[in-house]
Amino acid sequence: MKALDIYDWIAISLYFLVLAGIAFWVIRKKQSNTEDYFLAGRNVGWFVVGASIFASNIGSEHVVGLAGAGAGNKLPMLIYEIQAWVVLILGWVFLPFYARSGVFTMPEFLEKRFDARSRWVLSVFSIIAYVLTKISVTIYAGGIVVSALLGINFWTGALSTVILTGIYTVLGGMRAVVYTETLQAIILVLGAAALTFIGLDEVGGWASMKETVTPEYLNMWRSASDPDFPWPSLLITSTIVGIWYWCTDQYIVQRALTAKNIKEGRRGTIFGALLKLLPVFLFLIPGIIALTLKMRGELHWDSPDEAFPVLMSNLLPSGLRGLVAAGLLAALMSSLASVFNSCSTLFTVDIYKKLRPNTPEKKLVRTGQIATVIIVIIGIIWIPIMANISGVLYEYLQKVQSYIAPPITAVFLLGIFYKRINAQGAFVTLVVGFIVGALRIILELFKDSLDPDGFLFLVGDINFLTFAAWFFLFCVVLITVVSFLTSIPSKIKTDNLTFQTISEEEKKNNKNSYNWVDIVVSILVVLLVIGVMIFFNGR
């Protein structure tokens, strides 16, 4: 990899100056209550909401991993990147319920729809999952990226980005997060787009690249009997995980809840859905370009995950290389800022406020800031553990979401679509679901020591996509059976919280919150997704 020169460092320095200016401007604004600190005063426009959703999703490990998928013959993973239609489900289906209920967090919504038990289970589990997966993976991958790009020690890169991100997240709250993420999304898109265009020119265009890697390589649809990516399981599980991640996870939904109203929130999700289509072209294709150049002997890298940084440092001109490096740093920082803020929101609103309901607003804000600091410290402590974890376990961390998603998706989906689903059904499904998911991870880790003919080996060895699809069906049956065997939920738990119980006034309000433009752009997004699915068919 080529080292960054003076012009690259100037570009990186300018980026950080602008970022510091935005953070300083936001921090000066009054953060007098929890709505200000955790939801930016619920006063954010659609452009910032959409950009924030996109930037939260795209972390440095995401950029490097997606390019690595393009370079490492894992094109079926592309399906997780074209789930823009699922982002639309957040705006059109889920957001009106969240906005009507006036909640800050997803566990808080579960309490309104079901009971406090479900809220406790989801909030505690979410915080643990964030620390063990999102924070640790982002810091680990980010440290590697920063040290590779800037030529500095892994620890220096990881610590500096964690601490810098932690400072403006603690002081500025959600408003600092969403506004800095807007800048970061713009930088990342511009930088990666430049790399894609220059890279395609370098390989002689799409047709020339396709000829080198062969058309079969560009097929995202494997046979139903494929041991790694059977297409039916891939399609079903990616949708289940997508609904969990985009429609029910605090990390993403909190961005939509910052909007001024349902109209701005929905438009933000539509804009976020459009942006969600970009990673295919901005990160996956550069990975394929890097593979093409390697096959031609014009580029060298050892691991597919090195494809993006190596391609960037070798192809981009001085200055622009620094801008893309800044974009990767932006991706790392936006992901960290999002998860720091989401963790502190969950802790303050769902745990601390529940235990001490009479706490003044200013003290809750201070608690949120302290919680963020503690999460930053835990993240730093976790770095050496992540650095020593084998590559196999790091790969398992990527699969964890397939085991987390089914019970949560089942509870939220059935909760808003069917009024007969009750608190007992939701609670049992969440608890049993999390136990089954944890058991699957343990069995997968230790399957080599199990009897190959036994049931436990079968559970640990079955393809993770196929397991998640059957697991979701199990959760749907479980929540339905338990709900029907127990009492009917009271009206207070269903009024305006399920599709069957929306009042005429709320239906009218919802209808007034969109127009033909929102519908047309949403249809366009769905058509683009279908187009990408058809395009990558290996022909």
Q: What is the largest CA-CA distance in the chain?
A: 70
List, for residues 165-175, the tens digit of each pLDDT value: 777 677 776 67
Helix (H, G, I), strand (E, B), or coil: what is residue 44?
strand
Q: What's the CA gap between 359 and 538, in Å, rounded?
A: 59
Which of the pair, 519 or 344, is modelled with greater confidence? 519
Per-residue pLDDT, 419: 93
Q: What number is the average pLDDT over the span 97-111?
A: 89
Which has more confidence, 134 or 487?
487
pLDDT tens-digit series, residues 262-296: 999 999 999 999 988 888 888 889 989 999 999 99
Q: Which domains does the chain have, with CATH numbers?
A: 4-20+43-534 (1.20.1730.10)
pLDDT score for 386: 58
Mean pLDDT calculated for residue range 59-68 = 72
Q: Which of 370, 381, 383 is nearest to 343 (CA)?
A: 370
**In whole angstroms, how far apart are CA 156 and each of 110, 256, 383?**
41, 34, 12
pLDDT surpasses 80 at 347: yes
Q: Residue 364: is its pLDDT beyond 70?
A: yes
Contact 494, 416 (CB under 8 A): no
**Alpha-carbon torsion, ordered 129, 131, 135, 136, to 10 deg:** -100
Distance of alpha carbon 415 from the chain centroid: 22
Q: What is the pLDDT of residue 365?
A: 80
Calculate the CA dihedral of residues 278, 328, 385, 106 and round it to 10 degrees.
-50
Distance CA 150, CA 148 (A): 6
Q: Name 222's bridge partners.
A: 230
Query: Do the beta carbons of residue 266 and residue 522 sit within 8 Å?
Result: no
Query: Phi, psi (5° rounding) for residue 538?
Result: 80, 20
Q: What is the pLDDT of residues 264-273, one digit of tens each?
A: 999 999 999 9
**Integer Cα distance of 281 and 37 in angstroms:** 35
Cα 251–Cα 255–Cα 260 angle in degrees, nearest 5: 155
pLDDT for position 374: 86
Q: What value does the mean pLDDT take over residues 73-91?
A: 86
User: What is the full DSSP assignment across 484-501?
Assistant: HHSPPPPGGGTTTTSGGG
pLDDT given for residue 479 in this prediction: 97
Mean per-residue pLDDT, 376-389: 69
User: 117-145, pLDDT tens digit by residue?
Assistant: 999 999 888 887 777 677 777 777 677 66
The mean pLDDT value of the chain amounts to 84
Per-residue buried b or exposed e for 273-310, using 16+ beta carbons within 10 Å of the residue's own CB: bbbbbbbbbbbbbbbbbbbbbbeeeebebeebbbbbbb
- Cα–Cα distance between 482 and 467 in angstroms, integer? 22
pLDDT at 362 over 90: no
pLDDT digits (tens, 9 = 90+) for 445-460: 788 888 888 888 888 8
82-93 burial: b if 16+ Cβ within 10 Å, else e? bbbbbbbbbbbe
Q: How many residues does the chain have?
A: 539
Cβ-Cβ contacts under 8 Å for 324 (sequence gap 6 or more): 191, 192, 194, 195, 312, 316
User: Does residue 393 have a pLDDT over 50?
Assistant: no
Residue 36: per-residue pLDDT: 63
According to the model, what pLDDT value does residue 394 have? 46
